[in-house]
Amino acid sequence: MDILLATRNAHKVEEIRQIFAPLDFLTLIPADACPGLPEEVDENADTFEGNALIKARTLCAASGLWTLSDDSGLEVAALNGAPGIYSARYAGPGCTTADNNRKLLRELAEVSDRRAQFRCVIALCAPDGREWTVQGICPGTIARECHVGGGFGYDPLFIPDGYDRTFAELDPAEKNRISHRGRALQNAFAAWRDLFTQ
Ligand code: ITT
């Protein structure tokens, strides 16, 4: 079964590929490998689920393929859930990952409550108009400084509960096992097994 991945984020594509690797009957097609699709999708919903559905629906309609999307972000307790759905552009239009991480450290400089969670909603759209969503959450805390390594985004600052290292310092397979994305995709496979294997 062919599934288009409605994301332009190469890190997400790599993680989704690794997590779905055992499902070798699925052929994952990144949007970047599919010419003629819209480059930008206006993510104008106010929830992860809404934005995941917008991305999957838009690229499903444009390609005619089964399409899977990921909308995800970091929710910080002391910031009332920010940056949330604005995680990619937290420090403003055109910002870099480093800008976002610096802003988060600045906002939390005087804050002792470091609790946060990553949330990921995966949407699946079928060419006949059916659509589904699943979610995964990974709780943790925000470090006092960046601990670089692998990963992307806020990984250098996020310490998952039960660990003393950030996502960036974990082996990618370990991150994928416990991450919001890993959990959402495990839920996806459990919920959509029959769709995937039909
Ligand atoms: P697409 O919309 O093309 O999928 P995007 O990066 O813009 O790519 P989102 O709108 O879902 O995707 O924003 C997700 C942001 O949340 C991402 O850019 C990171 O800043 C952060 N994020 C999500 N998952 C993450 C992870 O596993 N590790 C670190 N940061 C993550």
Q: What is the side-by-side order of every strand in the sheet holding 27-30? A: 27-30, 2-5, 67-76, 115-125, 131-142, 158-160
CATH label of the domain that carries residue 162: 3.90.950.10
Looking at the structure of the chain, the number of domains it has is 1
CA of 186 to the centre of ligand 1 (A): 18
Q: Dig out the tokens for 165 from the structure.
A: 């290292």
pLDDT value of residue 164 = 97
Distance between CA atoms of residues 49 and 141, nearest Å? 23
Neighbours of 198 (CB within 10 A): 7
Smallest Cα–Cα separation from 102: which of 47, 180, 154?
Answer: 154
**What secondary structure does DSSP assign to 92-145, as a single string?**
-TT--HHHHHHHHHHHTTT----EEEEEEEEEEE-TTS-EEEEEEEEEEEE-SS
The answer to whether the pTM exceeds 0.75 is: yes
Q: What is the pLDDT of residues 151-196, one digit of tens each?
A: 999 999 999 999 999 999 999 999 999 999 999 999 999 999 888 8
Q: What is the pLDDT of residues 42-63, one digit of tens each?
A: 999 999 999 999 999 999 999 9
C-beta 160 within 6 A of ligand 1? no
- E strands present in the chain: 2-5, 27-30, 67-76, 115-125, 131-142, 158-160
Residue 133 belongs to what domain range? 2-197
Residue 8 pLDDT > 80: yes
Q: What is the mean pLDDT of residues 136-148?
A: 97
C-beta 75 within 6 A of ligand 1? no
Residue tagged active-site, from 42, 71, 161, 194: 71
